[in-house]
Amino acid sequence: MTDLSWRQADEDVFVATNRGEYAGFVTIEQNVHVVHDSYSRRIGSYPTLAAARQALVDATRPPSRRRERLRRRILERRR
């Protein structure tokens, strides 16, 4: 399970770390919470800070074995 630590860097910026490593951030833009990963790639926009934080948790969670097997099967069918 991914356990992110959060710090408020500015009035409208929240930064996440995972075991001391930078994991991403959330900005507030016109009452929308925009999530970016550790490479500053936009993940999405969410109506609440809680939803935005959960989106980053979900994005940083390693894929399950079941999901990875399904992904491989899909890719094999495309060949």
Contact 25, 15 (CB under 8 A): yes
Three-class SS state of 43: strand
At residue 72, the pLDDT reads 82
**pLDDT value, residue 22:** 95
Residue type, 58: D
Number of other residues whose CB lies within 10 A of the CB of residue 2: 14
Strand partners, 36: 25, 42
Say if pTM beats, i.e. exceeds, 0.85: no
pLDDT of residue 79: 65
Confidence (pLDDT) at 50: 95
Series of mean pLDDT values for 10-residue runs along the chain (79 residues): 86 94 95 95 95 92 76 78
